[in-house]
Structure 1
Amino acid sequence: MDHKVNVVSRSQWGAAAPRQKMTLKASAQRVVIHHTALPRCSGRKECMDRLVSIQRRHMTQNGFDDIGYNFIVGGDGTVYEGRGWGVVGAHTKGNNHDSLGIAFMGNFNNDTPSTESISSVKKLLRAGVTQGFLQREFVLFGHRDLGNTECPGEKLYAALPQLRIAP
């Protein structure tokens, strides 16, 4: 089984530098799954352009120091580095100090997450555990479990059990 996950780095997708970065005090205990609630993107160029605009919106309109998520995954299964491992995100108010935020690109109120994206996130989670960024016994949440929101959308929320990894 291939556990390697290819992550497109911030410099590869054209991320702006963060205003500041806070490091998690320990490995993350929780993973919070989100959706971008935007139309899905197809192809790396379109997804990278979308990421640049999400980061810009998070930094200008939301006042975040960077894109809110630690990682973002496209429908083709490509994983993009957001804030990355070991960095406090800005994705779930009041819950960022011990968690990892992963967003699926698209709106999953109607769309179903692709098998490629689910598979990539599972590999990413396994890599996080192996590398010590994520506790072996981490707890998986949908954003709606921790906040008053529809996020990550009906269809992605229903798919959360598929993201559980065996310890």
Structure 2
Amino acid sequence: MTPFETEVAGPGTGGMLELISFEIGGQEYCIDVRSVREIRGWTATTPMPQTPDYILGVINLRGAVMPVLDLRCRLGLGRTEPSSRHVIVVIQHGPRMAGVLVDGVQETFQLDASLLQAPPAMDSDANDRFVDAIIPLEGRMLSRLVVGSLLPLEAHAEAA
């Protein structure tokens, strides 16, 4: 397992996982459903100066200021022009919490962890950091994302 992995089961191990899948630019990704706090429609963000390109801005979530990330941009796949068809998935890893903008949520499903496959070695630092497993599922390929590596380190301040 890589240092970024936080899920109980890694590629090739046993046990059941409950995952939630979503789409970004025609590709399917998933994360452990326990990392999801809520799913909400697109809400306009307030831009913040001196932030990385992948941070769209902040929103007020029931009194707490929370960053919203353009997940497509964070993964190095280009920028998203947010619209009402997009969804914000609020994720949490330890004390860090943020919203991630996705094209749409697909489904939640259970999967035997033995079906996870290690991603192939590539020359992409982002792939090594963000994807810890590939899941062949019903003729599709899903990439399991490492929630802890997606969140900005500063997110713990907004979540507190």
TM-score bracket, normalised by the shorter chain, equals under 0.3
Report the structure, 1 or 2, having the larger helix content: 1
Report the structure, 1 or 2, having the larger strand content: 2
Q: Rg bigger for which structure?
A: 2
